[in-house]
Structure 1
């Protein structure tokens, strides 16, 4: 009877005009379960100006085939009626025979599926749980009580990368992933890191007094340097430019020992800025004005202007790789060392020389030629074995596409905010989502990979080495990375740094988390005008940065914080639960739950929907702004310095490449709006085009060894649009180091990188609009 009913339905319902290919995929247990499509309730159908489509409520439409095949004449109607009657009789007889056969076997085999009503249309896709149900389930699983328990399991006073304590924590993470029913594995690397001398110490000598700091900066140049000390506040570009301003202080930094305080930018950037101005050494002291910060507190960090093992740049640190000795271009060329607040104050009180700028109120004098200081660094380079730990929750439709959620596990000392909180969020998200899959019927379309990194304190070494080792495997498979490092450091501000493709998703997530979480008061405050108050640039020392700028994977990093300078206890032995309680007014667990919900909502949204929620229009705005700046600057240089840039150099090709990207992104938006969400192959094809955008902004014309952060919009180096703009500024200022030929090469290659991204975004080769 069922077969007859199915046959009749096929005749009257027919098939849609557009051929749709469906694959009936098995679920994770291997059975071909009945699939029911339940569309998300909160996603809108319209596509906004920013090019982001909301897809969940759309349904595929089909025109009845029989209405077009046959006319409505009496003869045809009689023929149809006779055909239907004949099929009904045949089906009835078949059904009768089958029914008798089933009755005879009923005593041996019980029916496995009981179906009442019409059979749901099978598409091969996983049942789409209503989004409100997904977020409610996650909120129920994540509790402050559970976080308190997890904190205690991962709290450790000393778990430096490669140490027995680090391995112990790795084993705990691995066992938990196994307990949750996840497939788990380890990834081992042998990396070179620099530690303080095992015997003796580094030292600083000033006015006859010798200081022996216990803190250190990994990857500093070893040696002894003597020079006149000069104070430079935070050591960023603006501070150093102010010292060198010929119309004001006019201080020559060549050979000077630059004394700066921590904050605003990374240690590596401070040292690199000083090295570019021919300084001989850098001393860094804590920039805290908080009385609770110990006057002898030591700072720990690294000064590699990059990420990963700097002695295997561009390739992984596996023990079986045999490359000739090589060093990262991001290693410093000068000596660098940290000192305590007391040591810094002793030096600052004795400085002579010019008065400090009025806005630098913490010192009186900047230092003169007679304020000579000696810095000696004797760090030890050694090889360490580190372990990254992974667990995966496999998707039910596109299991080979995945979002990665990662957290640093190691720390210089207790590292509670630096690593314990993030690792706890990682483990709790893994537990909660795996329980949702096993017990609550949640079936993610794509996979979630959870990663616990080691050697994060040395410059995201574990994460970067994994990227370098599996870059070809990750290409077009990993579509997003969510960084959990330092997510709770305060309670008065919320900051997010991310790929522009994720900005719209971030905005909706802020609103969604604040709406369902009574603890998310901070998110509620920023939900109205979140972009101006929340967004910040992605920093070089974030683990999300190599994912984005080296691997072309859209990434996000976020933090609940207190002030602009950030959490002052990072890189010290004071990063404890007690200190974090102080800055959060004893609400660490509650804030951690909010952070976990924010990360969880983004991850689940990306693995839940038919099509990836990524905003292609954001990059169009960024490219337009950068191209406009370069166009104005080129014309300015051609007018003021015609011997450098001839009139034949035109920006038209770059403008055309921008136009190609805009047309391609709008074309894809139209394809999304007209897509059939039940067509798995179509959704996969569209998602692949979206995933290719970030990756195709990586310049194929530069070496990942020499310029690892190849992203032409968000990377660093002369190949980026920002690098081109800076080069034009140097031309305008008659910089003697200007290389016009190098600029023209980079200008052409950046143009073709953007054009290549537009071509890939357009899809098939016959869809390209070749206007250049």
Structure 2
């Protein structure tokens, strides 16, 4: 090349290099500014009317899992995300075992006289009361999913809430349930736990109902459509499968190549289970004989509550006829991705399920509408400001959650290896609103500060609370649901197994967070849960006129997603985890310490492990203050260590007797899958141990000692992952 041309080439190359550097600096500056302003953008751009429009569409027809309507909704969500411009959108199908009633032959309960004639018959469907869609021919008859079919005639026993302690009290009162039909109330434990407890005791069948004492506390006249409370015709649907995921492919995804168990070897119940309204329950109770129920067991129906067994009239009986059947069906997850700019292989996952027993105005469609609005606002943030998340944001619309977290469980089984290495956090919104009293949060301790800081940014949708001097969502949360042990701070509950965070937290060790607006705890229930009356009108006219509370929840969700996706060093709450472990250990020792000491079992190593975790946290935080944040490898190393903390509590062998739960610190109670418990593997081993015979007690103590050693080991491991040293 001639010297003159070479000089021109070098000059042009230098100019291009400088220009590229300037552009990169400008982009970096713009991206940083966009990240700083993201919360303000989200608060400004979330549109209540947009959420309302999404909800109206989603609740236009019934869409149970595995049906054509659920599939059409999946395609609609996918097309919505493609139109918004998400970088990737995938439909993920699973071939699973689901459960349905017979449309032409409803499940029924009858009272039979001595001649075997029906003197009373229950209602097969719920009665339309208000919204036009309640009369849709697509509405299914009343049923509990995975109930065994059957036609049983015999005696009935009233078992209060169907808890283990309720069955124990019946035994103490001399009332046996073996061979009988159990009548039990919804409202205290997961319905599958009721069915399982009854089946283990030899019951022939189960009838479940919602008592107006809880579900219509203002009286049977103050109910839907005038209030949010349950009318006499309402029936709560729901699964009675105690396990999660596809029953035929436990531990593995329900893909085409999967091995499937014979249905008779699955975990589905072996007895018929059927829900009825409280109008129908009143008729059953009215005809029952036997001694009066204990005063605490009496509900809100204007009848005498009797235990049974049997009927007041000699020779009369109860007939339970159930045609519910299991069937293979395809359910769909929809997964959309906003790809990260710097760490695209690290994921912040947002999830909500899409299927509903009927219209799902509250559960789950209020959450689905919020998820769609989050993705709309985040793509607008990208398009209008040039923002792109540091890490990838993954939005998931799960299929067939109502049947037992099927869509999310199969997905975490299929992609578990990638997810366990790459997922920063999972934020779940099963439903965005079940009341308008306060924010309610279930969380791993690592995400406490994430939700606290975000909630303090979101304006309070409650006008009266703002007037009372509480301008943010955080302020009302701290006031109305306070942490009794930490004054001035809101309460955060443990995540059980009631929603799609289950596979992430309890199997993979990914920190999770679940949020919604909830009711006053004095009410205790979401009255119209899983009924025909969970309509668009319920939300639009009674729960959240103007959609202000749902908009606030959506803002909170989006802000947390951006915070977790964008912060250079993950802001995980290590000190909160340290305090949680110490508090949980203290509660365990207060409850069972004397009992443990009576066996000369040392808790010294367990205590030392918790203390060691606290010391490791302090050292890590001190080292973090010296981190060279310009060194990308050093930042990656620290973030990897932070991500390993939750994973360190995962025992691949599972909890005692529960190989499908792997988290040794937090897991659902064995007697109630909805509620989370700290160190449940230890407390479950000791719960009721003194009521067992000597041989059973000895086995329980062996289980306790073995699991204590495992828990101690994994807490020590969690401390070590915060260090660079192997030893």
TM bin, normalised by shorter chain, reads: 0.7 to 0.9
Whether 1:170 and 2:63 are equivalent positions in the alignment is no
1:202 — aligned with what?
Answer: 107
Deviation at 1:766, TM superposition (A): 6.8
Deviation at 1:185, TM superposition (A): 1.2
2:702 — aligned with what?
Answer: 744
Deviations 1:46-97 (A, max 9, x none): xxxxxxxxxxxxxxxxxxxxxxxxxxxxxxxxxxxxxxxxxxxxxxxx9xx9
Partners of 2:597 and 2:616 in 1: CA distance: 34
Deviation at 1:540, TM superposition (A): 2.3
Is the 8 Å Cα contact of residues 439 and 517 (structure 2) preserved in structure 1?
yes
Whether 1:301 and 2:238 are equivalent positions in the alignment is yes
Unaligned runs of 5+ in 1: 1-93
Are residues 694 and 276 of structure 1, via their aligned partners in 2, closer, same or farther at CA, if it must alter by over 3 Å?
farther
Which deviates further from its counterpart, 476-485 or 539-548? 539-548
Structure whose alpha-carbon radius of gyration is higher: 1
* 3-state SS of paired residue (1:512): coil
1:386 — aligned with what?
Answer: 331
Is the 8 Å Cα contact of residues 514 and 521 (structure 1) preserved in structure 2?
yes
1:683 — aligned with what?
Answer: 635
Deviations 1:589-623 (A, max 9, x none): 22221110111121111111112222123333333
* 3-state SS of paired residue (1:570): coil
Deviations 1:385-443 (A, max 9, x none): 11111110111221111111111112122212123222221111112112212320323
Whether 1:540 and 2:497 are equivalent positions in the alignment is yes
Deviation at 1:134, TM superposition (A): 1.1
1:49 — aligned with what?
Answer: none
Deviation at 1:449, TM superposition (A): 0.2
1:476-555 maps to which residues of 2 (within 5 A)?
476-514=421-459, 523-527=474-478, 530-532=482-484, 534-555=491-512
Whether 1:286 and 2:210 are equivalent positions in the alignment is yes
2:32 — aligned with what?
Answer: 128
Is the 8 Å Cα contact of residues 191 and 385 (structure 1) preserved in structure 2?
yes
Report the TM-score, using the length of structure 2 for normalisation.
0.82
1:439 to 384, 391, 398: 384
1:612 — aligned with what?
Answer: 570
Are residues 205 and 501 of structure 1, via their aligned partners in 2, closer, same or farther at CA, if it must alter by over 3 Å?
same
Are residues 636 and 277 of structure 1, via their aligned partners in 2, closer, same or farther at CA, if it must alter by over 3 Å?
farther
Deviations 1:663-707 (A, max 9, x none): 322222222222122222122111111111222212122389952
Which deviates further from its counterpart, 149-158 or 182-191? 149-158
* 3-state SS of paired residue (1:193): strand
Is the 8 Å Cα contact of residues 665 and 762 (structure 1) preserved in structure 2?
no
1:38 — aligned with what?
Answer: none
1:323-722 maps to which residues of 2 (within 5 A)?
323-325=260-262, 331-359=268-296, 360-362=298-300, 364-371=304-311, 372-514=317-459, 523-527=474-478, 530-532=482-484, 534-564=491-521, 565-584=524-543, 586-587=545-546, 589-628=547-586, 630-631=588-589, 636-637=594-595, 645=599, 647=600, 649-702=601-654, 707-716=659-668, 721-722=679-680
Unaligned runs of 5+ in 2: 125-140, 217-221, 225-229, 312-316, 485-489, 671-676
- Corresponding pairs, count: 661
Deviations 1:328-364 (A, max 9, x none): 8854343311112221111112223222333334252
Is the 8 Å Cα contact of residues 697 and 757 (structure 1) preserved in structure 2?
yes
Deviation at 1:534, TM superposition (A): 4.2
Is the 8 Å Cα contact of residues 157 and 310 (structure 2) preserved in structure 1?
no
Are residues 421 and 730 of structure 1, via their aligned partners in 2, closer, same or farther at CA, if it must alter by over 3 Å?
closer
Structure 1 vs Structure 2 CA RMSD: 3.6
Is the 8 Å Cα contact of residues 727 and 743 (structure 1) preserved in structure 2?
yes
Deviation at 1:216, TM superposition (A): 0.7
Report the TM-score, using the length of structure 1 for normalisation.
0.78
Deviations 1:498-525 (A, max 9, x none): 1122122222222121379989766532
Partners of 1:129 and 1:735 in 2: CA distance: 67
Deviation at 1:630, TM superposition (A): 5.0
Are residues 401 and 307 of structure 1, via their aligned partners in 2, closer, same or farther at CA, if it must alter by over 3 Å?
same
Are residues 235 and 741 of structure 1, via their aligned partners in 2, closer, same or farther at CA, if it must alter by over 3 Å?
closer
Deviations 1:442-487 (A, max 9, x none): 2321110011111122122111111111111111211211112211
Which deviates further from its counterpart, 676-685 or 698-707? 698-707
Deviation at 1:626, TM superposition (A): 4.0
Deviation at 1:163, TM superposition (A): 2.3
Is the 8 Å Cα contact of residues 716 and 723 (structure 1) preserved in structure 2?
no
Partners of 2:154 and 2:556 in 1: CA distance: 49
Whether 1:191 and 2:96 are equivalent positions in the alignment is yes
Partners of 1:711 and 1:585 in 2: CA distance: 37
